[in-house]
Amino acid sequence: MSETPRLLEAANALSQLLRSHSIPHAFHGSILTAVVSDSPRCDEIYCIVDGGSTHPFRRVRQAIVGNDQFTVTHSPWSNRLHATYRRLIPAIEIEILPAGEHGPRRLDASTTMSLKGIPFLTLSEFIRDKLKAWAIRGSERDARDITYTLCRYWNRLDINRVPEHDMNHFVTCHRPAALSWAALKRKYGM
């Protein structure tokens, strides 16, 4: 587990760099639930990057070239890109994810929100991506993030962005989320 303020410092530095190159991006992972819950510790941070006319990995590599705070590691065999913030010890590693493969296809005002001046996925998009990950991996970390966000912020979620079948399956496995899911469905007349 990492300290949330350290991850936020790394996210802010990467965000400033990407913004200076006009690259749409948003962070997500347990960092989002740590920020909204004011938790001092979290254990994952991802940055979703919109590709535009070129691949998101290329855009990030071009933005980081010559920057002394970040290094980039690309693993072509696993198709992963990591930006490492070296200003702190130990260094903070942020996995870069292409928009559309993770999160929404386009990162704009309807799919992102600002927390502490840093762009994050909206709560609806966060639940959608975490639910997809939970369906594949069955991770308890993902389940905790989904349950926390759904139970705490159900009234702010857009049900149109939450896959109903996947959420119905999720609440059968994680009963604490069932009441909030039922309340959200009632809100939308379902």
Domains of the chain, with CATH numbers?
Answer: 1-121 (3.30.460), 123-189 (no CATH)
What span, in angstroms and rounded, lies between the C-alpha atoms of 61 and 66? Answer: 10
**What pLDDT digit, counting tens, does each position of 4-18 carry?**
999 999 999 999 999
What span, in angstroms and rounded, lies between the C-alpha atoms of 87 and 109? Answer: 30
Q: Are 126 and 149 in contact (CB under 8 A)?
A: yes
**What pLDDT digit, counting tens, does each position of 13-61 carry?**
999 999 999 999 999 999 999 999 988 888 889 999 997 778 889 899 9
Q: What are phi and psi of 186, to 5 degrees?
A: -60, -40
How would residue 95 be classed by pLDDT, with cut points 50, 70 and 90? Answer: very high
CA 133 to chain centre: 11
Q: What are phi and psi of 75, to 5 degrees?
A: -110, 95
**3-state SS string over the chain?**
CEEHHHHHHHHHHHHHHHHHCCCCEEEECHHHHHHHHCCCEECCCEEEECCCCCCHHHHHHHHHCCCCCEEEEEECCCCEEEEEECCCCCCEEEEEEEECCECCCCCCCCCEEEECCEEEECHHHHHHHHHHHHHHHCCHHHHHHHHHHHHHHHHHCCHHHCCHHHHHHHHHHCHHHHHHHHHHHHHCCC
Q: Are 29 and 101 in contact (CB under 8 A)?
A: no
Confidence (pLDDT) at 189:
85
